[in-house]
Amino acid sequence: MIGKPVVLVEVKNVLATSAGSAIFLGNDEKVFVIYVDHSVGSAINMFLHGTPKPRPQTHDLFADVLTSLGAHVDRVVINDFTDTVFFARLIIIAENELDERKIVEIDARPSDSIALAVQAGAPIYVAHHVWESVEDMSIVLKKMQDANNEADEGFPGM
């Protein structure tokens, strides 16, 4: 492939919708949206803000299992897009007591992959062909953030 095979993105915001959550991913060039169910959107938001949870959730369990096996989330690649469905690969690195290293690539839902990446502080990438095909939602995100800021200004202390 000529050019960049992947584009580095970050979670710009997580906003509740009537059907779940909108995860805004992007960089300074572009922002796009992946819609996820409310529980995963909530988990991503909690990881972003370091919100404590009364009990471990599924993503916490998975991260704890990885840690106990000497592994960690290295990166996530959102590698395909068909109709309205995104696909992702979760890249995990495991090291044993002999310092032998193994890289494992797992097919996973983008929502779970994003949650695990945010939790672990791992980078999120988008395949270049996916990046080129998604609609830029930067203006929509800015309008939503501005509306939220205006609502917060109406309530002192928020």
User: According to the model, what pLDDT value does residue 1 have?
Assistant: 44
Asked if the structure places residue 85 within a domain, the reply is: yes
Asked if the structure places residue 94 within a domain, the reply is: yes
Q: Give me the phi and psi of 9, to 5 degrees please.
A: -130, 170
Q: Which range marks the domain in which residue 99 is found? A: 6-153
Asked if the structure places residue 25 within a domain, the reply is: yes
Asked if the structure places residue 1 within a domain, the reply is: no
Q: Name the 3-class secondary structure at 78.
A: strand
Asked if the structure places residue 43 within a domain, the reply is: yes
DSSP state of 155: S
DSSP run (H or E) holding 14: strand 6-17
**What residue has token string 């310092």?**
99
User: According to the model, what pLDDT value does residue 143 have?
Assistant: 85
Q: Which residue has the higher pLDDT, 62 or 73?
A: 73
pTM value?
0.86
Asked if the structure places residue 158 within a domain, the reply is: no
CATH code of 137's domain = 3.10.690.10
Overall number of domains in the chain: 1
Determine the Cα–Cα distance for residues 64 and 23; give it in Å rounded to an integer: 24
Asked if the structure places residue 16 within a domain, the reply is: yes
Asked if the structure places residue 95 within a domain, the reply is: yes
pLDDT tens digits, one per residue of 82-134? 988 999 999 999 987 777 889 999 999 999 999 999 999 999 999 999 999 99
| Average pLDDT of span 4-26 | 93
Q: Which residue has the higher pLDDT, 30 or 144?
A: 30
The first and second tokens of residue 22, run together, are 């909108």
